[in-house]
């Protein structure tokens, strides 16, 4: 797919409406290109970004350094305690500081795990903020191996919240309130508990209620107890948990309405997507946080509401396709063992990751035929083969699925 012609292309596309990216099926290149274009665009005044796992030889870090060298205000929140990436992050921090980037190492006692990019651009009529919020890291290598979702937006409310987030991380100020973002450790835990309790109340009142949540790990006791209460109130709960899950599903009288599945396939499932039926007024969120005490209380995390109906519908479809996987899915039984899901008699095989690849190919085909600029955001032709492909998880030995580092 040909590259965008100039910086205005990508900014104009984001101004038209929110854009959801589903990696690695859709390329991570637009994110790299956005940062690169911002670094070279004379109308961009400031770039602020969190860096948790940038990886080696990062084009993103190089673009930030170049932007600072050309006089732009550049701030990088570098997490030095990202497990297994400490050395790499220290090296990048030194490189950025030498280039004139304002490097901040986060808040004392908290890991910065949120994934956020803020670009401030001078345009006709004043300044405009462009924001990228994601479930995965700014890492061009893992973006081809991990499944994640991300939002590109020019929504003023999220732009203001992103500015507040960076003000918080740099020690400038703490916001009195947030417009849209839900931030840990400043209320994410309470928000999740409230959303679960609301579904339980909807069910008790006979209104439509359901919870579908996808994450890496589910450990937090308060959340697990809230899910048990919601199940007992009649809320159907579907959980897609790749790693640790301390909840026991299908326990009579406790969690009859809860089912837990894990998908182990070519790409490592890494995204966090939460859907609450909310009496027919669907609410969908993406987040950098798993439902674990460390994410709620010892890390800076963000949860982002999806305001556009089309994006909500697409994320719900992603969850539905994954839940229907009967090739690479494992179901957790009440004893704590995982059992491989197989197609039932007469049921067609559905492999979620392959389905997403096919859907993306079709989008690219349609976009190319229509010569739409968004075709640039679609296919990732360089998705790598994952070391997980073809592996048989230890679930077959009555153990949980393999857990990757967070």
Any idea which residues carry the catalytic annotation? 113
The DSSP bridge partners found for residue 44 are 121
Closest CA to 49 of 111, 122, 7, 101: 101
Helix, strand and coil content of the chain, in percent to the nearest 5, comes to: 35, 25, 40
DSSP 378: S
Q: Reduced to 3 states, what is the DSSP secondary structure of residue 356?
A: helix
Q: How many CB atoms lie within 10 A of CB 259?
A: 17
Closest CA to 263 of 332, 330, 357, 324: 330
Closest CA to 384 of 33, 128, 114, 25: 25
Write the CA distances from 294 to 3, 215, 299, integer angstroms.
Answer: 40, 14, 6
| CA–CA gap between residue 240 and residue 263 (Å, rounded) | 8
| CA–CA gap between residue 311 and residue 284 (Å, rounded) | 9
Torsion of CA 269, 272, 277, 283, to 10 degrees: -140
| CA–CA gap between residue 260 and residue 199 (Å, rounded) | 18
Q: Reduced to 3 states, what is the DSSP secondary structure of residue 26?
A: strand
């Amino acid at each position: 797919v040909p590259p965008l012609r100039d910086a205005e292309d990508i900014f104009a596309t984001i101004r038209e409406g929110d854009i959801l990216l589903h990696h690695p099926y859709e390329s991570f290149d637009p994110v790299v290109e956005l940062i690169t274009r911002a670094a070279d665009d004379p109308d961009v005044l400031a770039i602020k970004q969190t860096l948790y796992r940038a990886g080696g030889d990062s084009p993103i870090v190089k673009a930030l350094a170049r932007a600072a060298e050309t006089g732009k205000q550049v701030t990088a929140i570098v997490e030095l305690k990202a497990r297994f990436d400490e050395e790499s992050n220290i090296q990048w921090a030194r490189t950025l500081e030498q280039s004139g980037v304002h490097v901040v190492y986060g808040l004392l006692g908290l890991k910065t795990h949120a994934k956020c990019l803020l670009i401030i651009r001078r345009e006709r009529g004043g300044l405009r903020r462009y924001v990228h919020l994601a479930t995965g890291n700014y890492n061009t290598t893992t973006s081809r191996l991990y499944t994640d979702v991300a939002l590109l937006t020019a929504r003023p409310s999220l732009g203001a919240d992103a500015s507040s987030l960076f003000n918080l991380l740099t020690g400038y100020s703490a916001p009195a309130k947030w417009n849209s973002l839900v931030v840990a450790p400043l209320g994410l835990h309470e928000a999740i508990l409230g959303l679960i309790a609301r579904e339980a109340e909807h069910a008790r009142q006979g209104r439509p209620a359901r919870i579908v949540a996808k994450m890496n790990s589910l450990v937090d006791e308060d959340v697990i107890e809230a899910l048990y209460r919601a199940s007992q109130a009649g809320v159907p709960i579907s959980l897609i948990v790749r790693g640790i899950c301390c909840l026991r599903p299908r326990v009579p009288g406790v969690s009859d309405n809860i089912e837990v599945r894990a998908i182990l396939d070519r790409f490592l499932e890494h995204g966090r997507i939460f859907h609450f039926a909310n009496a027919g007024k669907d609410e969908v969120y993406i987040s950098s946080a798993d439902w674990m005490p460390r994410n709620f209380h010892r890390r800076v995390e963000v949860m982002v509401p999806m305001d556009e109906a089309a994006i909500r519908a697409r994320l719900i479809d992603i969850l539905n396709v994954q839940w229907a996987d009967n090739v690479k899915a494992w179901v957790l039984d009440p004893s704590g063992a995982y059992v491989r899901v197989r197609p039932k008699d007469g049921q067609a095989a559905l492999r979620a990751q392959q389905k997403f690849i096919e859907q993306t190919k079709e989008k690219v085909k349609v976009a190319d035929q229509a010569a739409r600029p968004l075709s640039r955001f679609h296919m990732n032709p360089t998705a790598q083969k994952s070391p997980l492909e073809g592996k048989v998880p230890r679930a077959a030995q009555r153990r949980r699925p393999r857990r990757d580092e967070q």
